[in-house]
Amino acid sequence: MYDIKLLQDADAEKAVLGAMMINPLVIPAVEDLLGNSADAFFTTDHKLIYATILKVFEKHERVTPILVAHDLKINEQLNRVGGPDYLYDLQAPIVETENTVVYARILKDYATRRAIISISNEITKLAYNESVEIAYIQSQILEVGENIQTSTSKQLNSFTHADAKDRIVPPVKWFIPDMLPEGLAILGGPAKIGKSFFATNIAVAIASRAAVFSKIELDEPRNVTYLCFDDPPDLLLGRIDLLTENSHDLSNLHIIDNTQTLVLDNAGIKLLETHLDKTETELLIIDTLHRVKPQLSNARGTAYDTDYDVVIPIQNLANRRNMCIILITHTRKAVDTDNAFNQLQGSTGIQAAADTLMMLQHDSGSKTLHLTGKRISTRELSFTIDPSIGLWELQGDAKTFHQSELRNNIIDLLNDAKDGLTPSEIEISDGKGGTVSDSLIRKTLRKMVENGEIHQPRKRGPYYPKDDNYDISL
């Protein structure tokens, strides 16, 4: 039985790392041979140590276990590699460094073998998939062979700030202005909040160049593919018919339903790319992450590492093609009042691999979208839903909308009251199973009096609607 774990040499890895800390003069030769990606090392802790040694050497032109430990500690990774004691254990048995390059060649040999096995497994999966054309598989084999042959001669090209002025940088592609740029967007929310319907609203609008959320105009239609793996196809088609009433041109909207399966490992991404090429897809919606998530056979490290390794190939796909991918996922039951995005199912490794984060939450009579990303400012937007057609309608800034909604609720209560109301008598649902806080009620009442929206004839007395007919002079 073959086991990829056999293709490693822990002693050689330790010898190379220890020698690099004992004698920094060997570092350039090792880096020339292994590069700066750390893939030549098998374990996550050794990968981290190697990358840190190169970083420290570039900064200080010298390396010691103390400097390496210091850098790891600053980046909160020292405990992940076994602490300072492990760093000292690496260099303690080293008595000579003349054979360091020899050990490094052993590591490179094993790394190349592991890469060949990994690539061969992906090619094998493609070969078993009868929907993939033979010509495509053959082209992949040739491409892999060229990559392996040229991997030792690859170089990194840098540019200066002055050079950047002459570089042609394509403009960022926006799918929804100031809300959804190119790259990977993670869309999360609790069960039954309407994540799929929200995504369907986006898909229909962008494919047909309709106003997004009834408010945002688009310049042009784009090709959209919706991977509908969480719901039966008739449910998605029913949502689309409800939204459009057959009045939209949806020839640009392509649907892959749950009668098919797709796992987004290397082979799955290659298969998906053939569809993206054929349909010229610019927006891809994956519903949901759980349905396409590969099981990593060589998963190592923490939950963060595993989740990051699962999602980052999808982000790379989006950025490589200058497209947008919306990846829908679920939330955890635990509530984080400080950071809504920490409720996304899985570790923060999922967040780290994304370009944009979108989180839907229930609110009083509406839904709130928490939004943040590399190209957009952090903000919260309010939406209402027309249940008759499933249309999500943008109401604007969540704080402004809810403040307006709170004021309207207060006015309704005052209109219904005969003798006015005190703050303690005003109770309004917050839409989350509780009530609006007493302090917010009092603050809002004072503001409403200042703005002339309501009356408070006597200090600390009841509040009345603006046009009341009661005699409140006594």
Give tens-digit pLDDT for 246-297. 778 899 999 998 778 888 988 889 899 999 999 999 999 999 999 999 887 6
From the list 7, 89, 77, the residue with the least C-alpha distance to 45 is 77
* Angstrom distance (rounded) from CA 323 to CA 174: 9
Does pLDDT of 237 surpass 80?
yes
Rounded to an integer, the average pLDDT of 61-69 is 91
Higher pLDDT, 410 or 143: 410
The predicted model scores a pTM of 0.61
* Angstrom distance (rounded) from CA 313 to CA 92: 39
Does pLDDT of 474 surpass 60?
no
Residue 380 banded pLDDT, cuts 50, 70, 90: very high
From the list 339, 394, 54, 79, the residue with the least C-alpha distance to 217 is 394
Dihedral (CA of 429, 432, 433, 437) sign? negative
CA dihedral 242, 245, 248, 253 (to 10 degrees): 30
* Angstrom distance (rounded) from CA 313 to CA 308: 9
What's the whole-number average pLDDT of the chain? 87
Residue 470 banded pLDDT, cuts 50, 70, 90: very low
pLDDT of residue 153: 45
Higher pLDDT, 334 or 391: 391
Does pLDDT of 23 surpass 80?
yes
Write out pLDDT tens, residues 423-438: 999 998 876 678 888 8
Write out pLDDT tens, residues 158-191: 778 777 776 667 789 999 999 999 999 999 999 9
Write out pLDDT tens, residues 146-161: 565 555 445 566 778 7
pLDDT of residue 112: 87
Does pLDDT of 83 surpass 60?
yes
Write out pLDDT tens, residues 397-408: 888 787 788 888
Rounded to an integer, the average pLDDT of 59-63 is 88
Higher pLDDT, 246 or 418: 418
% the chain with pLDDT above 90: 50
pLDDT of residue 39: 87
Could you please report the per-residue DSSP string of 444-462?
Answer: HHHHHHHTTSEE--STTS-
* Angstrom distance (rounded) from CA 226 to CA 255: 5
What b/e readout covers 127-149, taking b as 16+ CB neighbours within 10 angstroms? eeeeebeeeeeeebeeebeeeee
Report yes or no: 283 and 254 within 8 Å, Cβ to Cβ: no
Residue 143 banded pLDDT, cuts 50, 70, 90: low
pLDDT of residue 152: 45
Rounded to an integer, the average pLDDT of 348-363 is 94
pLDDT of residue 336: 74
Highest mean pLDDT among 123-132, 275-284, 388-397, 412-421: 275-284
